[in-house]
Amino acid sequence: MILGMDVGNTNIKFGLFDKDNLLHSWRMHSDVLKTADDYGINVTSFFNRVGLDLHRVDGIIISSVVPAINYTLEHMCKLYFDIVPLFVGPGIKTGLNIRYDDTKDLGADRIVNSVSAYSRFGGPLIVIDVGTALTFNVISRKGEFLGGAICPGLRIAMNSLAANTAKLPNVELINPDSVIGRNTQGCIQSGFFYGYVGIMDYMIEKLRSELLEKDVKIVATGGLVNLIADECKEKMEIDPILTLTGLKIIYDKNV
């Protein structure tokens, strides 16, 4: 079995694969203060709950956008699995031609999502991740990663608004009944929900126009994707396990 870890700024998502089948997935909060044993105990607890032995894991692959956690997770893998994990980064085989000015600056999650989407759909593609950051990735018909765009994620933006204003509160993110808010909470909910719907639709339109390709497929993932995508005029394929699947694909290309 292969264990994949997608280390994000908010959560670490784990996926356990038997061949190409995702058997189990779970997540825990990303915390640079946690020790290797903290993470190891969490993983051990999950394996015990589903009745699996840690030693059934043959390989581990990690994509991380939190460098401060990488050594801790590598140490955990050695201690609890006796495995040196494979990290997604420069020099790793992906199957894509990365046309980016500096690949060291390219987030591993963006690579993994693009590999996963291209493997499933081919190109041309726009791959969107509605997570801590809102990212757009563009892949050509020939499998070239051309770049994309990055925006603040919804929760970061909402938290920032509340933290940097005297009277505006943190509110629940919902699809409001009306664009016209009748109170402060409703105004914030409308502004963020419909504002981000507008960002996604407009960015897709602009990216498609620069890509100069026909039949561009839109693929989206991330914790809030279903809420936002339902209102977008642009139709997109939603894949909640896009990143985990991409980790398995990249692992297979490098062993």
**Catalytic sites, residue numbers:** 109
The DSSP annotation for the chain comes to -EEEEEE-SSEEEEEEEETTEEEEEEEEE--TT--HHHHHHHHHHHHHHTT--GGG--EEEEEES-HHHHHHHHHHHHHHH--PPEEPSTT---SSEE--S-GGGS-HHHHHHHHHHHHHH-SSEEEEEESSEEEEEEE-TTSEEEEEEEEE-HHHHHHHHHHTSSSPPP------S-SS-SSHHHHHHHHHHHHHHHHHHHHHHHHHHHHT-SS-EEEEESTTHHHHHTT-SS--EE-TTHHHHHHHHHHHHT-
What tokens were used for 16? 């356990």
What tokens were used for 198? 């507008």
